[in-house]
Amino acid sequence: MSSENNQQSGTVYQAAHHQAVLVDRSDLGMLKITGATRLDLMNRMSTQAVKGLVGGAGAATILVTDIARIIDRLILYAGDEFVYALTSENNADPVARYLMRFVFFQDDFHMEDLSADTAVLAVYGPKVSELLAQAGFPETDFPQHHWRQAQIADGLDVTLHRTDPVAGDGYFVICPQGDKIAVQRHLMKAGLLLANEADFELLRIESGLPRIGHELTADYIPLEADLWDDVSFNKGCYIGQEIIARMESRGRLAKRLVRLDLGGPAELGDVITAAGKKVGTVTSAADGPNGPVALGYVKTSAVEHEASLTVRDAVVKKYAWD
């Protein structure tokens, strides 16, 4: 990386931790679900209790296999007559095909893939709310995963969604794909710096946010990924419930997702060792201003005993799992 790129990346990093930054996340998928049983089916198919969602509310929920392995993490946004399902990157079609396998003849459930026509702009940082207010959003103080309609400069119709915090806080600004450039320019005029994919990946790893193909794969279950808030232990049956309930009741997970400050560079798939034995795997890695960082799954026994961990013969400086 050139010195100019390093300087730009450092500027974005500082802005993310002190102000806020803008990230184009339009590769996230968007499904629109309609029909009288739309929430009934999502409730019986995923981990969270979503049957009672009302317009303007939302929830993160997880699709899992019958052995509780992660298929995808969805964020549902309820309207009065529909629900939007935000999928992971480029995953709307597989999710739609999976869900349609479980639509029964008595279900009134219909899906439309809006991904190609939808732009998702993420805003992250500790002062996101203030900068969004400066950009003309009338309301920003609402619960995580809830959403509001808004009209900003030049009559641009958008929706604002409170989302997972990265570098302090997080929102999605969602609009038609044709309005993306205009909305992006308007947000940048309010003081938001544009971050690229590498910038976002570093911030995501630092914040412990799991991502499909990395921490969200069929190798892991939601509790191991520290997605407890996305799981209801009080609702009726859903696919994979028995295994998740058993693991929760026993209070014992084989492995857990850990954030690591590394002693040297690492890559996806690198082995994590303790006392010369494999105890985990790196699932994401990036190099930041304060050194290399990573996410990885580590055996619970090693975590609980605060074992000294090593990646590529370099001792991990510190790690955290909350």
pLDDT in tens, 239-255: 999 999 998 888 789 99
pLDDT at residue 250, as a whole number: 85
The DSSP H or E segment spanning 70 is: strand 70-78
Strand order in the sheet with 82-89: 58-64, 70-78, 82-89, 28-34, 110-113
Confidence of residue 235 (pLDDT cuts 50, 70, 90): confident
Q: What is the per-residue pLDDT across 61-70, written as a single tens digit (0 to 9) for each? A: 999 999 999 9
Q: Tokens in use for 285?
A: 């890695």
CA-to-CA dists, residue 149 to 30, 116, 132, 173, angstroms: 16, 20, 13, 10
Residue 2 has pLDDT above 80, yes or no: no
3-class secondary structure for 5-60? HHHHHHHHHHHHHHCCEEEECCCEEEEEEECCCHHHHHHHHECCCCCCCCCCCEEE
- The pLDDT, as a whole number, for residue 4 is 45
Q: Residue 282 has what pLDDT?
A: 98
CA distance linking residue 24 with residue 27, whole number of Å = 8
Mean pLDDT value across residues 26-51:
96
pLDDT value of position 131: 95
Q: What percent of the chain has pLDDT over 90?
A: 90
How large a percentage of the chain has pLDDT more than 70?
Answer: 97
- 7 pLDDT above the threshold of 90: no
Q: How confident is the model at residue 3 (pLDDT cuts 50, 70, 90)?
A: very low
pLDDT (0 to 100) of residue 154: 77
pLDDT at 9: 60
Q: b/e map of 63-101 (b: 16 or more CB within 10 Å)?
A: bbeeebebbbbbbbbbbeeebbbbbbeebbeebbeebee
pLDDT (mean) for 186-211: 95
From CA 56, how far away is CA 48, in angstroms rounded?
17
Domains and CATH numbers, the chain: 26-124+136-180+205-252 (3.30.1360.120), 254-320 (2.40.30.110)
Bigger pLDDT: 169 or 105? 169
Q: Over range 29-51, report the average pLDDT.
A: 96
| The pLDDT value given to residue 21 | 97
Question: How large is the average pLDDT for residues 47-74?
Answer: 97
Distance of CA 24 to the CA centre of its chain: 14
Residue 157: predicted pLDDT: 95
Which of 244-253, 281-290, 296-305 is the least confident region? Answer: 244-253
Residue range 34-60: mean pLDDT, rounded:
96
φ/ψ of 283, rounded to 5, equals -110, -20
- Indicate the pLDDT class of residue 1, thresholds 50, 70 and 90: very low
pLDDT, one tens digit per residue, over 73-93 is 999 999 999 999 999 999 999
Alpha carbons 97 and 100: distance in angstroms, whole number: 5
Q: What is the pLDDT averaged over residues 265-292?
A: 96
Contacts 24+ apart (CB under 8 A), 46-49: 46/74, 46/238, 47/222, 47/230, 47/231, 47/232, 47/238, 47/240, 47/241, 47/244, 48/230, 48/231, 48/232, 49/232, 49/234, 49/235
More confident residue, 25 or 155: 25
Mean pLDDT, range 264-289, rounded to an integer:
96
Average pLDDT over the chain reads 94
pLDDT above 70 for 129: yes
Backbone angles phi, psi at 43, to 5 degrees: -70, -40
